[in-house]
């Protein structure tokens, strides 16, 4: 559903927030709030512009949260429901004021870019220049040509100091890097580097050209074979938060080995492959 044109078009009428539930306790607490104290991998809810008032129900996805009564909505009715919510609120402000994407860490950004098969735009510069850089990039990532094509991350010089060790053709120089992640998001390669002072129009042109070349080379992943391949190669992504879910809502992660353990099982939880 999420890749359908109709769903993408209606999503443009919302501020879409992707919770990083395995990298942040704060985000896990938000999931628990939506799921009555339980913690599961994801939760879906529509909020009013105040960021607090719930307009919809909650669930693992929109087909559950937007339904009335039992069961799930089909894709067409999900889009219709979203259109109804959007029609109640008029968009205010300028797209150039949008909040830009920024991950908890470079390693997470690279991993998600690999999973979504997008190029990663990685902005590296002095902390004193970050706000100016954000202003420079806002019109780029708000433009119709670019929106939705890339992931974006801003370097944390302390937390991400070793990012060059896993990326081919990288350097210690400040700049706007366009990076192609490897199959499992463990390493990657710089395809292009632009100076921080590059104007938005030039940045847009370079990004579009690089993405076109990338789209001709990147083959669409098959989920099942990708996950099994990662397991065979022993690929593991260490999350910032303990892996697992708390489906009984007791405040403790229910560690289960594979599919065999039920509530409260004491089996050791297995980390997922990066894009699972």
Rounded average pLDDT over 45-54: 92
Residue with tokens 């339904």: 67
Question: Is the pLDDT confidence value at 266 over 90?
Answer: no
pLDDT for the residue 259? 38
Question: Residue 2, exposed/middle/buried by CB under 10 A (0-12, 13-18, 19+)?
Answer: exposed
Rounded average pLDDT over 3-14: 84
Question: Is the pLDDT confidence value at 82 over 90?
Answer: yes
Q: What mean pLDDT is reported for the chain?
A: 85
Rounded average pLDDT over 32-41: 89
Q: DSSP secondary-structure letter at 99?
A: P
Residue percentage of the chain with pLDDT more than 90: 46
Question: Is the pLDDT confidence value at 236 over 60?
Answer: yes
Rounded average pLDDT over 125-142: 92
Least Cα distance to 99 among 199, 178, 15 occurs for: 15
Question: Is the pLDDT confidence value at 146 over 50?
Answer: yes
pLDDT for the residue 271? 39
Rounded average pLDDT over 55-60: 88
How far is the C-alpha of 27 from the C-alpha of 226, rounded, in Å?
27
pLDDT for the residue 276? 34
Is the separation of the CB atoms in 264 and 246 below 8 Å? no
Question: Is the pLDDT confidence value at 70 over 90?
Answer: no
Rounded average pLDDT over 52-58: 91
pTM: predicted TM-score of the whole model, two decimal places:
0.80
What the chain holds in terms of domains, given with CATH numbers, is: 5-87 (no CATH), 95-217 (3.40.30.10), 223-276 (no CATH)
How far is the C-alpha of 37 from the C-alpha of 6, rounded, in Å?
33
Residue percentage of the chain with pLDDT more than 70: 89
Distant-in-sequence, close-in-space partners of 100: CB < 8 Å, separation ≥ 6: 134, 137, 138, 141, 152, 154
Phi and psi at 200, nearest 5°, equal -55, -40
pLDDT for the residue 263? 39
């Amino acid at each position: 559903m999420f890749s359908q044109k109709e769903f993408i078009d209606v999503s443009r009428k919302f501020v879409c927030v992707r919770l990083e539930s395995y990298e942040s306790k704060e985000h896990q607490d938000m999931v628990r709030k939506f799921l009555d104290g339980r913690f599961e991998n994801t939760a879906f809810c529509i909020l009013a512009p105040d960021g607090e008032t719930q307009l919809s129900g909650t669930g693992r996805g929109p087909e559950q949260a937007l339904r009335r009564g039992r069961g799930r909505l089909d894709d067409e009715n999900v889009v219709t429901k979203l259109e109804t919510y959007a029609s109640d609120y008029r968009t205010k402000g300028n797209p150039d004021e949008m909040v830009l994407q920024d991950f908890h860490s470079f390693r997470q950004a690279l991993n998600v870019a690999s999973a979504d098969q997008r190029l990663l735009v990685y902005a590296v510069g002095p902390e004193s220049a970050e706000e100016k850089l954000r202003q420079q990039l806002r019109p780029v990532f708000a433009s119709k040509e670019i929106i939705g094509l890339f992931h974006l991350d801003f370097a944390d010089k302390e937390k991400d100091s070793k990012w060059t060790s896993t990326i081919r053709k990288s350097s210690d120089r400040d700049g706007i890097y366009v990076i192609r992640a490897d199959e499992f998001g463990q390493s990657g390669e710089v395809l292009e580097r632009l100076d921080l002072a590059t104007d938005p129009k030039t940045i847009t042109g370079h990004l579009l050209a690089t993405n076109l070349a990338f789209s001709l080379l990147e083959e669409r992943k098959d989920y099942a074979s990708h996950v099994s391949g990662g397991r065979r190669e022993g690929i593991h992504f260490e999350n910032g938060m303990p892996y697992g879910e708390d489906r009984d809502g007791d405040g403790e992660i229910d560690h289960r080995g594979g599919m065999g353990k039920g509530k409260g099982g004491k089996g050791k939880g297995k980390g997922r492959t990066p894009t699972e």
